[in-house]
Each structure stands twice: as structure tokens, then as C-alpha cells.
Chains A and B, each alone.
Chain A
Amino acid sequence: MPFPDTSSPDRIPIAAGIGLRFPHHREVAAAPRGLAWVEVHPENYMAGGAMLDRLDIIRRDLPVSLHGVGLSLGSAAGVDSDHVARLKAMIDRVEPGLVSDHLSWSVAGGVYLPDLLPLPYTEEALRITARNIDDVQSSIGRTLLIENPSRYLAFHHTTMTEAEFLSALVARTGCRLLYDINNLFVSARNLGEDPAATLFAVPIDAVAEIHLAGHTCKTLEDGAEVRIDDHGSTVASEVWDLYARFIRRAGPRPTLIEWDREIPALDLLKAEAAKAQRLLDTAHVQETLVA
């Protein structure tokens, strides 16, 4: 059942924003102009402290999206109601334009593993993940965006593609999608698939946000090359190409530049966002001409 969308009045604009990390807080709070919107990981603020106060200040000037890493929507044991309550408190305080998390799991047996671990795409996993998304959406009173993860392996007992799995989640829960084009590229390369062939396999009307980030290549001991989604560099040219193709056909969407390791000067993030914005502007012009 689709959940009624109760997005905050300060919606995320169809423009390029940046992932806001602690080293840039002071600079962004002092001079928010030049940024269309920012996204933060709510778990980084749930312990409280001065950074949460600074986020309040930034929120006065900029639309903010909350992008979770801790809901563990694929956990067989269900979602942690205490964590959902913490997320609800953050939503009430920040009034974000969008709320998202990942198609992954990180909690089992009471242990939290700080990574976005892969799910087998089976009917059982679909049923569990849909139930968990329903639980979260009911508790927070908001529609969730679900992000496709980076994957480094595949399971024998998978019975559907990731795009089929995401489509089914959208149909069953009314959630929407955060389409990470870098993750799509990384997963496809790691699993021997063609990213261009699956670019439009997700329900494109459900895509409410796009993520772009950098990744690295690593050669394993057996000589295999693996792409690691480490968010520590500029966006790869192949990913820019896929992004341009997607928004040309699907239309412009709010787009975010993520950078989590060896965080650079804010100007470099702004330059990456400006690059995305130019492509968004082009897609917007094309969309207007077609209309």
C-alpha cells in the first residue's frame, strides 16, 4: 500500500546538492549560498552534541535530506524500534525534504556491522524487506527512498534481479527509489554485467533522488579486478555518462554528490555538484522542448 507522502514543505529541489560531513559544517553554516541542498547521515547526529546544533543552523538556510545507514531494512529479525524512534525524532527536528536508507542489512543477532551488507534477492528476502519498510514508514509517517547498494558478490539462491526486487518493493510498500548510479556501475562491473543494459530496468517514475560518487579499483589475489565503492574520489567518467543518459530519458531529479573518505575542500565538492547541475540543466531544457 502506498504510504501518504508527508514531505516537509521544504522539499529537495531538482538540483545538485552535496553530502554534508563534519569537516565542512562550519564553512557551510557560515556561507550556505552556492549550495542547493545538503544530505546528512542521521546516525552521525543521534548522539547529540554541538554538531547537531550546527545542523539546526544549516537547516535554516538549506533544504536537508536524511540518508540513513542504520535501519537495516533487510534484517530477518525486523527493524530496531529504538532506532526508528531516534530517526523519527531527527525527522521532527530537521524536517527533511527526503528520508532514505539502503537495500541492505547490517544487524543480526543483536550485532551491528557498520556496512551495507548484501541480500539474496529471493521471495523470502522481499517479504521481509517489504515488511520492514512498511513498519518504518508507518512509524515515521513518511515515504522512504530505498537505495540500490554496491555489491561485491552474488548468492546462489537469488531468484530475481535487483531491479525486479526494487520494483516489487515499490509496488508492495509505496516506497520510492534513491538511484545510486555509481553503485549500479560498481555492482555491474563486479558481477560481470553490463551497467548500460540495466540502467533503465528500475521503475524510473519511482526514482526520487540520484546519488553520484567516486570509487576505486582493486586487484584481488587471483587477479580479478574489483570496484570498491569507497566515496573517496571524483565521479568516474563512465558513471557521468550513465547519469547523463538516465536523466535525459527519465528527466532531471535531485542529485547528490557523496564523498566520505579523505574528504576534500568544499570547493571540489561544489565543482562536482556544478558538473551534475550542468547535466541537469541540459536534461531540463530537453524535457521542456519535448513537452
Chain B
Amino acid sequence: MPDLATLQSDFVRAILGADRGAACAAVVGDPAFVSQRLSIYRDTVLSGACDALRLSYPVTERLVGTDFFDQTALAFVRQAPPHEPVLARYGAGFPDFLQSLPTLAELPYISDVARLEWAVDQAGHVSPAHRRPGRRFILPVEAGSAVVTLAGSLRLVESATSVHAIWRAVRAGDEEALPSLGWTGGRQWLAVHHADDDIAVTPLSRPAWTLCAALLAGATVDWAIAATSRLPEPFDEAAIAVELLAAPFVRVELHDPRGSEGVS
């Protein structure tokens, strides 16, 4: 008889794959009967993981249809099963998996919508009541310094298609508007963040998005500015500053060495 570690490995193979022989051999009863009993566990495992994906990707499910979503989620679960019991964090690789599917090759916006959905879902897990500050850095300004803080919920998404409009239309139940949205055009740079008690998606210019992306990745301010200045777009530092200072996910505290302090 197998030791416990071997038995558990056999069960994982029986549940995620088709190799049931070893697991069935350890179970009392006729092999055909045992296989059906194992299916009860397999069905619970696979439906539990697929349901977790369904909760994170409701717009994607509506775009591709429930049957296709179920088949695709099942294939993804078998290939990349969960690694921890917090299933709300499961499924980060699903958009890439969708992108790899030949059947979706002519519909590239599907994987981009899924990326936006994942960002929205994960931003939602940052508690509104305990909003953690995100990346913080200090900029020298004319009268002292400015402490700039990005929201802890901030996620950034880049898309080659007009995913923001598609996502909004499907969320609003307005699928009839989809054909007019121009699925193949309109590269977008999006910021996903808390706004009041909801999650908001704010379109950014490419330079502002690039600057934020570099800062979120841990770059220094100088490095982030250098990365932004290498874009093909004209580098207009003042325009970027105005755009970001107005963004709801940026908080600025001005520190005046003479003692006064302001917040925007």
C-alpha cells in the first residue's frame, strides 16, 4: 500500500488528469465503481476552481458565452491549478491562457478585456476602509518638496484594443453597442483604482501611464522619467505633471520648509 505522500500525489494526478489507476488501486471496491466515486471529488475540485475564475472574469464569460468559458476554464485549471486556498487570488494567468488559444486568435480583445477584469478584481481586494498607500516618492518643487503617493489599489493595463468601452458596455448589459465600438483599434493605457466605494478605470496618456508603470515597478523617479522620455511621443514634463496631479489615484503633499503644508 502507498505511503500518504504517494497516495496524495496519485490523487492529484487522478483529479487533474486521466491517470486514475494508482488512486483507484488504493480504494475499496470494483475499479469502475471506484472511478465514479473519485469523480465526485474531481467534479468538486474542478467546479470550485472554475467558479473562482467565473467570479473574477464575469465580463469575459459574457463575451465568450458560458459553454466556451466553462471549457476554457476547465482546460486552464488542469494546466495551472491553484496553489493556495485563497481562491480570490487565483487566475492571474488566465488572460495569457486565453491569448494563447488559436480559437481566439482573431478576437485579441478577449484576453485584453480579461486583463482589465483581473486588474479591477484585484484592486477590489484592497479594502476601502484600510486603503494602503502604494508607491511613495519625494519630488523637489519650487518651495520645498512634494511627497507624491500612488494609491495602493492602483493597477495599470495596456491594451491594443478599446477594452475600456467593451468592458463598460458589457457591465452595463449593453452588448448591442459592441459592434460599434471598433474592436481592433484604439490602443489604450488605463489606470484601475478605488474611487469612493467602487473601482474606477481612468484612461491615461501613454507618457503618464509609462511613468506610473515604472514607479509601480520600483524604479527611481529619475529612471522613470528617463524611461518616459524615450517614448516616441513628445516628452512634455509639465503636461504629465498636470495630468497626474489631477488623477484621483495620486495624492500630493507639499512640504514648505517655512512650515505651511498643503494637500491636493
Q: A: which residues have CB within 8 A of B?
A: 43-44, 46-50, 52-53, 56, 69-70, 72, 74-77, 80, 82-83, 86, 105-115, 117-120, 122, 124-125, 128, 152-157, 220-222, 224, 226, 228
The complex places the Cα of A156 from the Cα of B7 at a distance, in Å, of 12
B-chain residues with CB within 8 Å of residue A120 when the two chains form the complex: 1, 4, 7, 26
Q: Looking at the complex, which one of B9, B30, B49, B130 makes contact with A53 (CB distance below 8 Å)?
A: B130
Q: Are A124 and B15 in contact (CB under 8 A)?
A: no
Top-5 shortest CB links A-B: A70-B85, A114-B48, A47-B88, A157-B1, A108-B8
Query: What residues of chain B lie closer than 8 Å to A125, measured between beta carbons?
Result: 4
- Residue B197 interfacial (CB < 8 Å): yes
* CB pair A152 B9 closer than 8 Å: no
Q: Which of A106, A122, A124, A155 contacts B28 (CB 8 A)?
A: A155
Contacting B27 at CB < 8 Å: which of A115, A119, A154, A222? A154
**Interface residues as binary, B7-43 with A (CB distance below 8 Å gives 1, 0 otherwise):** 1110110011000000000111110111011101100
The stretch from B120-128, B166-174, B202-210, B225-233 touching chain A is B120-128
- Which A residue's beta carbon lies closest to that of B87? A114
**Contacts A76-B8, A108-B8, A108-B9: A83 and B44 contacting too (C-beta < 8 A)?**
no
Whether the Cβ atoms of B45 and A113 lie closer than 8 Å is yes
B45 proximity list for chain A (CB < 8 A) = 113-115
Which stretch from B60-68, B76-84, B102-110, B138-146 is at the chain A interface? B76-84
Known contacts A53-B129, A222-B33, A228-B40; decide if A112 and B27 are in contact (CB<8 Å).
Answer: no
Verify if B86 is at the interface (C-beta below 8 Å from A).
yes
- Taking a contact as CB atoms closer than 8 A, the residue among A43, A75, A111 that contacts B16 in the complex is A111
| B81 engages A113 (CB within 8 Å) | yes
In the complex the two chains form, is B85's CB within 8 Å of A106's CB? Answer: yes
Complex Cα distance, B86 from A44, in Å, reads: 7
Please give, as numbers and ranges, the residues of chain A lying within 8 Å of B1 by CB-CB distance.
120, 155-157
Known: A108-B9, A108-B11. A153 touches B34 (CB 8 A): yes
B30 neighbours in A (Cβ, 8 Å): 222
Cβ–Cβ < 8 Å partners of A76 in chain B: 3-5, 8
Contacts A76-B5, A128-B4: A48 and B27 contacting too (C-beta < 8 A)? no
Chain B residue at minimal CB-CB distance from A127 = B4
A75 vs B5: C-alpha distance when bound (angstroms): 8
When distances are taken between beta carbons in the complex, the residues of chain A under 8 Å from B5 are 76-77, 108
Across the interface, which residues of B come within 8 angstroms of A220, CB to CB?
Answer: 33, 36-37
Given contacts A105-B8, A153-B27, contact A117 B85 (CB under 8 A): no
Docked Cα-Cα span, A117 to B49, in Å, equals 15
